[in-house]
Structure 1
Amino acid sequence: MVARVVGGVGEDAGVESGIGPVVGDDGIARCPWGASSDVYVAYHDTEWGVRVSGEAAHLERLTLEAFQSGLSWLTILNKRPRFREVFAGFDADAVAAFGPADVERLMADTGIVRNRRKVEAAITNARATVALREQGGLEAFIWSFRPEPGPAPVLTGDVPTTSPASLALSKALKKAGFAHVGPTTMHALMEAIGLVDDHLAGCHRRGTA
């Protein structure tokens, strides 16, 4: 089992820590977690480490990474369509306007992760995103913390769970009013949207971030 979270991918990935890329039935080498299920293969090959564009896309990834904390990333991927529906496509203005009744509505929705602290944090973060427009917006803010590229991890155990950049981003977001944005969660966000490239050396997606 994976001993750490890789871009939101938790211990359900079905691979050992400390191993290199694995070659699937299609002959393609992937990070071990990215070869462990059809859903993970699709996410690994088309999304993980790929830059997204726009405020809503960045708010979505930040929100979903926060909801994933302590859970399987596969759970989040399977519930993502419903998350997008109930959070208005992660339109910051719409979510920022949510009130107590919306919190209760979300807490009653079995299609998402029903955690009150995370639901309330998502609304808090939407409001902080709106306020952040005065400083250039969420996308530019996050990308201002992009670190210099590091060496390619060779084994799964070489992939960090935090970094100085994720710690700095976490502190800055908290100062800007965001919640549930710890350094581990922010490192997962940075991996997911391509600020850092944590695909293993030998993985066919290495270098695409």
Structure 2
Amino acid sequence: MTKHRCKWCIGDPLYESYHDNEWGVPLHDDRLLFEFLVLETFQAGLSWITILRKRENFRLAFDNFDYHKIAQYTDQKKEELLQNSGIIRNKLKVNSAITNAQNFIKIQEDFGSFDRYIWGFVDGKTIKNAWKSQEEIPATTPISDRMSKDLKKRGFKFVGSTVMYAFMQATGMVNDHTVDCFRYNEV
């Protein structure tokens, strides 16, 4: 029997695996939340499949998304990243990963964890939508608008509302699997 999946992932084994195993699963681990934050910021203006194909390279290049290490990156490390063809070599995005790591740590200090801070925007619970088609799914919501505005106020970069809504989808803050998808009731 064929599994019914969200339309956006069909046809690429990497995309389907990501959809089936990760997308929309509620995440509460700060390191993983930081990984998705970095990946989503690098995705801005690109397709998610481009980022997924480079994900292992990003993990290697960015010390497995250890935000304490990233917050301390030197100019030499930045230059090394900009020469790394395995990742997206965008100076502003590389700089933003470092700035965002520093601000991520500040949020942990202020809230006890990034998880507590970020999930506070949805009162600690996944928002379960009931979309019948991919076309119904919004690119932003009032919550992603508020999240984006607050993160920017705290010094984060590349965290526009569209990026933050994609982050919410990826980390299970919203369940945007379509109702006919086999994952809809599983996550």
TM-score bracket, shorter-length normalisation? over 0.9
How many matched pairs? Answer: 184
The residue number in structure 1 matching 2:93 is: 118
In the TM superposition, 1:15-164 aligns within 5 A as: 27-136=2-111, 137-146=113-122, 149=127, 151-164=129-142
Structure 2: how far apart are the matches of 1:95 and 1:44? 28
Structure 1: how far apart are the matches of 2:82 and 2:53? 18
> Match for 2:10: what amino acid?
A
Structure 1: how far apart are the matches of 2:45 and 2:78? 21
Change (3 A) 1:110 1:164: same
Structure 2: how far apart are the matches of 1:53 and 1:202? 26
**Counterpart of 1:153 in 2: which secondary structure?**
coil
Q: Percent identity?
A: 40
Aligned CA-pair RMSD: 1.4
The residue number in structure 2 matching 1:13 is: none
Change (3 A) 1:150 1:52: closer
Which structure 1 residue ranges, 5 or more long, are not aligned? 1-25
The residue number in structure 2 matching 1:205 is: 183
The residue number in structure 2 matching 1:14 is: none
Structure 2: how far apart are the matches of 1:89 and 1:138? 17
In the TM superposition, residue 150 of structure 1 has moved relative to its aligned partner by 5.2
The residue number in structure 1 matching 2:146 is: 168
Q: Is the 8 A contact 1:49 1:208 kept in 2?
A: no
Q: Is the 8 A contact 2:128 2:176 kept in 1?
A: no
1 or 2, which has the higher helix percentage?
2
Structure 2: how far apart are the matches of 1:49 and 1:146? 14
Q: Is the 8 A contact 2:8 2:134 kept in 1?
A: no
In the TM superposition, residue 101 of structure 1 has moved relative to its aligned partner by 1.1
Structure 1: how far apart are the matches of 2:122 and 2:136? 20
Structure 1: how far apart are the matches of 2:127 and 2:56? 32
Q: Which moved more, 1:85-94 or 1:131-140?
A: 131-140
**Counterpart of 1:144 in 2: which secondary structure?**
helix
Q: Is the 8 A contact 2:129 2:175 kept in 1?
A: no
In the TM superposition, residue 36 of structure 1 has moved relative to its aligned partner by 2.4
